[in-house]
Amino acid sequence: MRKAIYITLTAAVLASCGGNSSKSLDKALASKDLETIRSKHAEVSIQKKALEKQLKSLDSAIALLDKSEKLPLVTTIEVHPEKFDHYLELQGDVMTKQNVLIYPEMSGTLDRVYVKEGQKVSKGQLLATIDDGGLSSQLAQLKTQAELSKTTFERQKRLWEQNIGSEIQYLQAKTNYEAQQSAVKQMESQVGKSSIRAPFTGIIDDVIKDEGTVVSPGPGSEVFRIVNLSNMYINVEVPESHLPNVTPGKGVKVYFPVLGDSVTTTIRQTGNFINPSNRSFTAEIPVPSLDGKVKPNLTARVMINDYTSEKAILIPQSVLSENADGEQYVYLVDADSIENDPVAKKVVIKTGKTQGDYVEVLSGINEGDAIIDEGARSVKEGQKVNIKNS
C-alpha cells in the first residue's frame, strides 16, 4: 500500500512538473548565468520542501490506516498487591556452648579409658581413671580412724549426758571426730580427681590420650573432646542500622551451602552492645542438628526477616530504568488505550526494598496496571505496541 502511494505521488509530481520544468532547468543551466541558476535552485528547494511535507502527511495516514504496520511486540504483567518479606542476608558459623576439651585434675598415669570415639555418654558418666598413687589406701586408713573417733565420741557423749567424766574429755572426743570427718572428705575429693567424668550429656568426639600416657593438669594434656549437638546456634554480626528491625522472635531462614539444606528458625537473643570497631551487634540464632548433619563451625547463610508488607506492589527489576535525573521509571500500557490500540506510557515511580529479582514499588503504580515486561527497553512514550501475552 505504501509503495502504491509513492508511485502515485511520483506520477503526480512528474505530471505537474513535466517537460516544462525540465526545459526550464535546461534553459537555466544553458544560460550559464549565476543569478539565473541560483534563482532556479531556490525554486526547486521550495518544491522539495512542499513534497517532503506531503510525504510526512502521507506517512501519518499510512500509519493510521495500515493494519499490517509492524508494531513493537511486548508482554505485560498485571500487578496486584501481595505479601512481601524482605530478608537481611548475613554469613555465620555454627557454634555450640557444649563443645569442650576435658583435662585431668591431677597428675599421674592414665590407667583406664572406658569410652571410644563417637560414643554417646551421659552427664557424670565415668570416662577414664588415673593412677592415684596410693591415695585410695590413705583414704581407707582415714575412714578407719574416723570410725574409731566416731565410736569414742558417741561413748563420751553418753557419759557426759549422765554427768560422768569431765567436759574437756567430751570436747576433745567431739573435736577429734569432726577433724577425722573433714580429713576423710578432703581425701575423697583428692581421690575423686583420679576419675574423669562427663561434664554433660553428649558424644565423645575425640579420645586424645591413650591408656598408659602420663597426664597432668594444664594445656597439652587434653584427654577427651566432648560435644553436644542438641543446643547449637549461629552468632552473626548485624549492622547497627538494622537495630530496630532485628529483634528476638524475628523469623530467620538458615541455608547450609555444604549440605544443600535449609531450616527455618527465630532469633533467640540480640546483643546489648554495639561494637565500636565495625558498628554492629550480635544476634544468636538456634539451629537443629538435622539428624547430626549440622556440625560446629559449619558455614551458614543467614536470612533475617527485617521487613514485611502485607499488600506490596512488586515488579521485576528487569523492567526498571533510570533517567539522567536519577528518577526510576517503567513503561505500562495506557489504561484508556488497552482495549483498542495499546499505547506505551512512561511512569516515574518510587521504589522500596529489593528481594531477589523483584523490587517493591511505593508509589507511581496502582493495582491492576499492566506493566510492560518483555520489550520494555525497545518502546517509547506514546508508541503503539502489540501485546502478545501467553
Which residues make beta-bridge pairs with 274? none
Nearest one of 303, 255, 235, 240 to 86, comparing CA atoms: 303
Mean pLDDT by 10 residues, the chain (390 residues): 45 49 74 82 86 80 63 87 92 90 90 92 93 83 88 85 82 89 87 89 91 87 90 93 91 94 94 93 92 90 91 91 90 75 88 90 90 86 81
Q: Provide the 8-state DSSP code for 286.
A: E
Q: What is the pLDDT of residue 13?
A: 45
pLDDT at 52 (0 to 100): 86
- 196-229 as b/e: b if 16+ CB within 10 A: bebebebbbbebebeeeeebeeeeebbbbbbbbb
- How many CB atoms lie under 10 A from the CB of residue 337? 15
Q: For 137-154, how does the pLDDT look when each residue is reduced to its tens digit (9 = 90+)?
A: 888 888 888 888 888 888
pLDDT of res. 6: 43
CA distance 335 to 390: 20
User: For the segment 101-126, what is each residue's pLDDT rounded down to a tens digit?
Assistant: 999 988 998 989 999 998 999 999 99
Calpha distance 205→207 (Å, rounded): 7
Cell of 379: 518502546
> What is the DSSP secondary structure assignment for residue 166, as one 8-state letter?
-
Tell me how far apart the alpha carbons of residues 238 and 244 are, in angstroms, rounded to a whole number.
11
